[in-house]
């Protein structure tokens, strides 16, 4: 249990001649809530995409609980117990809300590629799906095709899919993006609840959410980490103020 949940060593990603991630070293400790902030274009989403296997790094190393997962395909990383949500809603639009969540619990509950048993037979699949459905507040919408949900409901489902499998490490990419104040508050309460006892990493623009939820904050500017530490330290950091918070306050 001494190994960090995620360790990035000298991680680099180029798109053609453009360097997006320029040598990132970062440790996410087990059980912490870690926020990654930074101005637009800093490479926050790219960093998530590298960690979860959506993109392969140009250089560097990614470890998950001490295991090297650099350039693994997303499904292998997901099977280790690392789940994520997306900044742009990424659900199964023609499947019902219930089925969206059920798809996310199948692999963790060892259903695999089974074609010799019915999907409703294992009680744990059904129960876990209903449990998550209740948590994200969509029980009444269970049979609605996900593509017909409102934006806020789709965002809740997006988080639901990420947490349904019971992954030990959860990466949320701007979970409150586009939400109004009330919706964001509900989302934060949900994130706080489901991340108890797990490791949470999130990219977030809303500073009140960040300082409210995070145990530690990493500031990413122009593909490099300029500061990483507890909220109070980040708030006091001069480089951060100049690069990011000052800009936001101005």
Partner 1 sequence: MTAERRRALMPWGIFALVLVVLPHLPGFGSGYAVSLLSQMGIAVIFALSYNMLLGHTGLLSFGHAVYFGLGAFVAMHAVRWAAAGLWLPIPLVPLVGGLGGLFFAALLGWPSTRRAGTVFAMISLGIAEMVVALSYMIVSFFGGEEGINGDRTKAPSFLGFGFGPQIEVYYVIAAWCFASVAAMYAFTRTPVGRMCNAVRDNPERAEFVGYNPQVVRYVAFMAAGFFAGIAGGLNAINYEIVTAISVGAATSGAVLLMAFIGGVGHFVGPVLGAVAITYLQVSLSDFTHAWLLYFGLMFVLMVLFAPGGLAGLWFMHAPILRAGLGARLIGPYARAVGPALVLALGAIIAIEVNYRVSTRPDLGTAFEFAGIAFDASQPWVWLLAGSLAAAGFWGMRRGLGPAFERHASLMAEAKGGGAP
Q: Which residues bind partner 1 (CB under 8 A)?
A: 52-54, 73-75, 78-79, 83-84, 86, 90-95, 99, 102-104, 106-108, 111-120, 161, 165
Could you tell me the smallest distance in angstroms from the CB atom of residue 240 to partner 1?
Answer: 31
Q: Read off the DSSP letter of residue 243.
A: I
Residue 72 or residue 244: which is nearer to partner 1 going by CB?
72
Residue 118 or residue 249: which is nearer to partner 1 going by CB?
118
Could you tell me the smallest distance in angstroms from the CB atom of residue 143 to partner 1?
Answer: 12
Residue 37 or residue 167: which is nearer to partner 1 going by CB?
167
Could you tell me the smallest distance in angstroms from the CB atom of residue 117 to partner 1?
Answer: 6
Distance CA 195, CA 228 (A): 21
| Secondary structure (H, E, C), 80-141 | HCEEECCCCCCCCCCCEHHHHHHHHHHCCCCCCCCCCCCCCCCHHHHHHHHHHHHHCCCHHH
Vertex 157, ends 204 and 146: CA angle to 5°? 135
Distance CA 75, CA 91 (A): 16
Distance CA 171, CA 192 (A): 13
Could you tell me the smallest distance in angstroms from the CB atom of residue 146 to partner 1?
Answer: 9
Residue 29 or residue 54: which is nearer to partner 1 going by CB?
54
Could you tell me the smallest distance in angstroms from the CB atom of residue 86 to partner 1?
Answer: 8
Could you tell me the smallest distance in angstroms from the CB atom of residue 85 to partner 1?
Answer: 9
Residue 104 or residue 240: which is nearer to partner 1 going by CB?
104
Residue 20 or residue 103: which is nearer to partner 1 going by CB?
103
Is the separation of the CB atoms in 172 and 201 below 8 Å?
yes
Please state the length of the chain: 250
């Amino acid at each position: 249990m001494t190994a960090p949940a995620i360790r990035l060593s000298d991680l680099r990603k180029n798109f053609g001649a453009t360097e997006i991630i320029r040598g990132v070293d970062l440790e996410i400790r087990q059980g912490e809530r870690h926020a990654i902030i930074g101005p637009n274009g800093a490479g926050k989403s790219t960093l998530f995409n590298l960690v979860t296997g959506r993109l392969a790094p140009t250089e560097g190393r990614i470890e998950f609980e001490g295991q090297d997962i650099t350039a693994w395909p997303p499904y292998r990383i997901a099977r280790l117990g690392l789940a994520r949500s997306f900044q742009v809603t990424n659900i199964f639009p023609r499947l019902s809300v219930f089925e969206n969540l059920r798809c996310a619990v199948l692999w963790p509950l060892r259903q695999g590629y089974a074609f010799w048993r019915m999907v409703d037979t294992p009680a744990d699949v059904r129960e876990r799906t209903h449990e998550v459905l209740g948590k994200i507040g969509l029980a009444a919408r269970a049979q609605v095709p996900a593509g017909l949900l409102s934006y806020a409901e789709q965002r809740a489902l997006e988080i639901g899919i990420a947490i349904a499998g019971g992954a030990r490490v959860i990466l949320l990419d701007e979970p409150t993006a586009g939400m109004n104040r009330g919706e964001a508050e509900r989302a934060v309460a949900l994130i706080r609840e489901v991340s108890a006892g797990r490791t949470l990493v999130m990219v977030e623009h809303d500073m009140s959410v960040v300082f409210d939820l995070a145990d530690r904050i990493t500031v990413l500017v122009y593909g490099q980490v300029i500061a990483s530490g507890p909220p109070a330290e980040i708030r006091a950091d001069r480089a951060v103020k100049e690069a990011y918070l000052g800009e936001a306050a101005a």
